[in-house]
Amino acid sequence: MSETTTRQERFPGRVGVFGSLCAMVFLVNLGRVIYAPLLEPFRTTFDASAGAVGLLATLAWVGSASLLIPTGYLLTRVPRHWVVLASGGILAAASAFAATAANLEALYAGALCMGVASGAYFVAANPLVSELFPARVGRAVGVHGMSSQTAAVVAPLLVGAFFALTWPIAAWRALFLAISVVTVGATVVFFVAARRATLPTAGRSDQDLLAALRRQWPIIVTAVAIVGLAGLVWNGVFNFYVTYLVEAKGLSASYSRTLLTLLFLAGVPSFALTGWIADRVPFLPLLHVIVGAFVCSLLALTVVQSGWSILLVTAILGFAIHGVFPASDTYVLASVPDENRASAYALFIGLMMPIQATGSAILGALVDAGVGFDEAFRLFAVAISVVLLVLVALTAAGRLPTGENG
């Protein structure tokens, strides 16, 4: 009997668990991205300023990043699937609460809690996904991430569909209620699938967050170094993408929004394909190539001018940057032993996400200081290139942990 077959038989029912996780990850990511296309309706409903409603989207991401490391500690005491179930409950309750909001302050609380649900989910679910498919970590993480990325593409379309229909309540309230109801259903399905399946027990030996940090800090720091700055730049780019295309490229607002959708849509196949590749090639060279492609496409974006060339570069840019996430997740999850996996992963994304979240603020500050978008993007590209060259040199010298595929 082959090793792969043995591993497959070890976890009967895992396909059902994985399918329910793919449904849940779509919903938890939808919960933190749904606020962006709702900002204008909220601005009209509550007669609020752009800054006041913009805080909603910020709080959803702050909530997502706020409890990552504490959730990692919780996983040293509680099985992964119970944290996944709790995240579904939090999302359902927070969505229902947001649907009843009478003012922005209540919506702020709803957005924050919906973000918390997503952060807790990812810390618990990604290690579980990797342990369900120990022989194909990259592929599993990639498909799971593809389901998450689909939510980013669907969110504005979903908002448009709800506002096109007639409801007995405000369309945004109906949308939040729908998210709550569907989340309850998906959480119940996951609970039933988890009860019927034989779940991995690898997490039982992961009981010391600080021990994981002491043992696995080289992999954690390497992953943060590779992903942190690229993620920071990406955060600034996608948040200002429509503004950039209108002001710097002279495109219409409607076409610019279409290109923003393409930027996210390109990430859907990128997750799946990059995850598949990550199972077959050394991790660090793959990450170096992906980050290099992102830098090249960012530089190309500052040069191209025609609508079709911008469209092509947008697709390449979106495909490249979204490949960083399944590749880095696979690097950490597949390289760290059972007794440290969830803790190390929580530390990785707990350090990486706050860095990433500063991107739009930094880019906005540069633009406010008189730096043009193109010049700012070139500065970002140079900064990433310097870090990338250092990492490539350290890898060539054997100074960085290469992981199992190395």
Domains: count for the chain: 2
Whether residue 129 is found in the same domain as residue 278? no
| Tens digit of pLDDT at every position of the chain (406 positions) | 334 444 444 667 889 999 999 999 999 999 989 988 888 888 888 988 877 888 888 888 888 888 899 999 999 999 999 999 999 999 999 999 999 999 999 999 999 999 999 999 999 999 999 999 988 999 999 999 999 999 999 998 999 899 998 888 999 999 999 999 999 999 999 999 999 988 888 778 888 899 999 999 999 999 999 999 999 999 889 888 888 999 999 999 889 889 999 999 999 999 999 999 999 999 999 999 999 999 999 999 999 998 899 999 999 999 999 999 999 999 999 999 988 999 999 999 999 988 888 888 888 889 889 999 999 999 999 999 999 999 999 999 999 998 766 5
DSSP letter, residue 202 = G
Instruction: Decide if 79 is inside a domain.
Output: yes
**Residues 101 and 227 placed together within one structural domain of the fold:** no
What's the pLDDT score for residue 49? Answer: 83
Task: Give me the pLDDT at residue 378, please.
Answer: 96
In a domain, 312, yes or no: yes
Residue 2 located in a structural domain: no
Q: Report which of 181, 35, 52 is spatially closest to residue 114, judged by C-alpha positions.
A: 35
Same domain membership, residue 89 and residue 126:
yes
Token pair 């906005």 in the structure block, residue: 364
Looking at the fold, whether 78 and 130 belong to one and the same domain comes out as yes
**The last residue of a domain, from among 144, 173, 200:** 200
Residues 19-61 have pLDDT tens digits of 999 999 999 999 989 988 888 888 888 988 877 888 888 888 8
**Boundary of a domain, candidates 180, 200, 220:** 200
Q: Look at residue 57 in the predicted model and tell me its pLDDT.
A: 82
Same domain, 174 and 154: yes
Q: Does residue 4 lie in a domain region?
A: no
> Which residue, 312, 280, 276, 278, is CA-closest to 297?
312
Phi, psi of 181 (to 5 degrees): -65, -45
176 plus 264 within the same structural domain: no
- 131 with 250, same domain? no
Q: Domain residues for 299? A: 207-397
Q: Looking at the domain assignment, is residue 82 inside a domain?
A: yes
Domain presence at residue 101: yes
Instruction: Tell me: do 142 and 224 sit in the same domain.
Output: no
pTM: 0.91
- Asked whether residue 174 is assigned to any structural domain, the reply reads yes
For residue 364, being part of any structural domain is answered with: yes
From 168, 200, 232, the end of a domain falls on 200
> What is the CATH classification number for the domain harbouring 383?
1.20.1250.20
